[in-house]
Structure formats: C-alpha cells, structure tokens
Amino acid sequence: MAENTPAGSTTDGAIQVGGAPQPIDARVSAPASYDVADFPVPHGREEEWRFTPLERLRGLHDGTAEAKGGLRIDVDAPEGVTVETVDRQDPRLGRAGKPVDRVAAQAYSAFEKASVISVPKDTVLTEPVRIGVHGEGGVAFAHQVIELGAFAEALVVIDHTGDATLAANVEFVVGDGAKLTVVSVQDWDDEAVHVAQHTALVGRDASFKSVIVTFGGDLVRLQPRITYAGPGGEAELYGLYFTDDGQHQEHRLFVDHDAPHCRSNVVYKGALQGQGAHAVWIGDVLIRAAAEGTDTYELNRNLVLTDGARVDSVPNLEIETGEIVGAGHASATGRFDDEQLFYLMARGIPADEARRLVVRGFFAELVQQIGIPDVEERLLTKIEAELEASVG
C-alpha cells in the first residue's frame, strides 16, 4: 500500500542506532513535570505540537481554559474492587509518570478530585470495570488512577461520551505479575475536545494491554506512555480510529524500554474520510542501554477512503543497546481507490457494501483484540454508521 500514499501525507519515520543526534526524550521542549508553569505556552512549531491545531484546543494549552464545565464520572465495578474519590494530596497520585507536555501538566495542576480504582493483589476479576466519563459541556480537568496489586487481573473499559473540553491524566500502575487490559473508547459528540496522557507503569513480569478506540470529537489527542518498573514486562498497545470530516485525531505513543527482557507490540489502524480529516500517529520507542533482551515492534496503517483527508504517521525507534531480541516498525498509508472499488463492483458488489467490506476487513484483527462482546458489537455498529454517513 505504501506506493499509494495520498497527497499531503507523511510517513517519515526513522530508526536510529546509538548516539542519535536528537534522542527521542530530548525532542520535547521541556522536561516532564507536574507543574504547568514548567512548560512554556506552545506556539505550534515545537516537535510535540507541530501537528496539533492549537486554536482548536480552547485554551487548554495557554492557561485560559477555566474549569467551569460539567463532567460526570460513573464507575461500575465488580465486587472486590475499591473505588475512591480522593484529594490532590493523596500519595497514590502521580506514581506512574509525570506529565510530559503543557496540557497534561495543566490537567495535573488544575484537577480538584481524583478517582482511584484499586484491584487488590491476587484478585482476578471476571467482569470488567466500567468507567463512564460523560461530558456535560465546558472545560474540565480530570485525574484517574487504576491500580492492580501483584498478580491481580482486570479488564477496564473507559467510555467517553457527551460534549467536553477535557484535559486529563490517567495512570495505570500494574503490580508485579498482574494483567491489566484497558479499553478506552472516545465516542464524543462532534464538538468535544479531549487531550489526555495515559501513563502506564508496568511491573515485573506484568502485562498491560491498551486498546484505544477513537471515533468522535472535534479534536482528540491521546498520549499512551509505557515505562517498565522491572524486567519481564509486556505491553500491547492497540488503537483504532475513524477520522471524519474536519476531525483531528492524534495518537502519540511512547514506549520507554528501560528494563531488560521486556516486550512491546504496537498496532494502530485508522480509516479516514472527508474534507479536513486529519489523523496523526507518532510511535516513539526508546530502547535504553539497560534494556537488554528487548523485543519490540510497532505498526501503523491508515486507509484513506476519500480525497481531502490527511495522515501524518511517524514511527521512531531509537536503540542504545545491540543486545536485543528484535526491534522493528512499519507505517503505511494507502487509499481505497477507484480500481479496488471497480474490482469489487465488477463482481456484483454494490459500492457501499464494497467500502464496508474493505473497512471491516481492515479493522477486523483489532476489533478482536478488545475481548468484550458488547464493546466489539458497538464498535462494528459505529463503523457501519460512519460508512453510511460517507456514502449516503
């Protein structure tokens, strides 16, 4: 598909081995910090902001956004799970990692109450924890911590709906040997703005699986970040987005391999349609000198369904040790073009069904990763609805 890259799209990734002129963690304009004052107001030319339309952030980036909005958070947790609302001073906050950009630091500096959801050690949940985040309009800052004790196993669904201008941090602290799967669905109304950092600290021999599903909103910018607290950890990061007319959907991943014998696997796939649809995918993987035995792979694929959509896909892999199992990346952006459409139609398949066939096929392997039938079903319905809108 790579030879079929739509005009205006980029896939200019890099692999750097040792002594890189500009290491991944030095490309940001300020070091990570909890304090918004440590970050200059971005002007748009910074590496981490160059793809984001700042004027559509509604002041989340420059301190003018005031938390006057309503945000309803409903947690439905099975027995054995502790759900708490805590003050800013709670010592369990901020352990997974610091905010890495101005908006994340703004969220950290401005939230009033945080949610802490804890699964005690050795507890294996058979039902998912469901967190509904419903925007009732206006600006909100939020903070959530999801913590699994050693050898606990849990599945968490975070479902974003309604209208909001939301800046948030979500922390995942995964205890040694624990297994956490998080599905975050961005099913916002058309006007919503959502900027969030998802920071996971993966314990020794623990597994963390993240499935990010982004459909709605005017602007969604998510930063899943992984660090390993010990050797043997595993992270699987899956993402699926459907970017429509005028939507900006940005997923910026960072996997920091700082412990030996850890694995990471990243697969993000997006479909785009309509004028001004803009998807950005940044996949940064850093294998530090200490991270011997690392095995990592990242993949981003985009399917452009109509003219007028733009994709920027930038995988970066930086390797500071040669003692690894494997490291690789791939990025491809292709069009669903007239020839494919003709071929399917020449076999009797109507145009709208042909498009559906291609998009469903494109997303199928990722949808199966979710593992929760009602969420999978809703997703497929959503994809159908998006496609209906495009051909109708």
Q: Where are the alpha helices (DSSP H) in 75-129?
A: 102-110
**Residue 284: alpha-carbon gap to chain centroid:** 13
Q: Is 392 in the site for other proteins (CB under 8 A)?
A: no
Q: How far is the CB of 334 from other proteins (least distance, A)?
A: 7
Could you say whether residue 18 binds other proteins (CB under 8 A)? no
List 257's β-bridge partners, or say none.
287
CA-nearest of 197, 141, 190 to 165 is 141
333-371 CB burial, b ≥16 within 10 A, e <16 = bbbbeeeeeeebeeeeeeeeebbbebbeebbeebbebbe
Contact positions with other proteins (CB under 8 A) in 319-358? 334, 338-340, 342-351, 353, 357-358
Q: Which of residues 249-268 bind other proteins (CB under 8 A)?
A: none
Which CB atom, from 80 or from 361, has the smaller least distance to other proteins? 361
Q: How far is the CB of 357 from other proteins (least distance, A)?
A: 6
Q: How far is the CB of 353 from other proteins (least distance, A)?
A: 7
- Smallest distance, other proteins to C-beta of residue 281, A: 18
Size of the site for other proteins (CB under 8 A): 23
Q: Can you point out the beta strands (E) in the chain?
A: 14-17, 71-76, 82-87, 113-119, 129-148, 153-174, 179-186, 193-202, 207-214, 219-228, 234-243, 248-257, 263-272, 278-287, 295-304, 310-319, 326-335
Sign of the dihedral through C-alpha 14, 18, 22, 28 = positive
Binding string, residues 274-313; x marks residues near other proteins by CB under 8 A: -----------------------------x----------
**Least Cβ distance, residue 242 to other proteins (angstroms):** 14
Q: Which CB, 19 or 392, lies closer to other proteins? A: 392
d(C-alpha 260, C-alpha 265), whole Å = 16
Nearer residue to other proteins within complex by CB, 348 or 373:
348
- Our finding on whether 362 is near other proteins (CB under 8 A) is yes
Q: Which residue type does 68 have?
A: K
- Minimum distance between the CB of residue 313 and other proteins, rounded to whole angstroms? 16
Instruction: Between 156 and 309, name the residue whose CB sits nearer to other proteins.
Output: 309
Binding mask 72-111 for other proteins (x = CB under 8 A): ----------------------------------------
Convert 207-238 to b/e letters by CB count within 10 Å (16 or more is b): bbbbbbbbbbbbbbbbbbbbbbbbebbbbbbb
Q: Pick between residue 45 and residue 347 the one whose CB is nearest to other proteins.
A: 347
361 binds other proteins (CB under 8 A): yes
Structure tokens at 85: 């609302």
Please report whether residue 3 would count as binding other proteins according to CB under 8 A: no
Which residues here bind other proteins, judged by CB under 8 A? Answer: 1, 303, 334, 338-340, 342-351, 353, 357-359, 361-362, 364
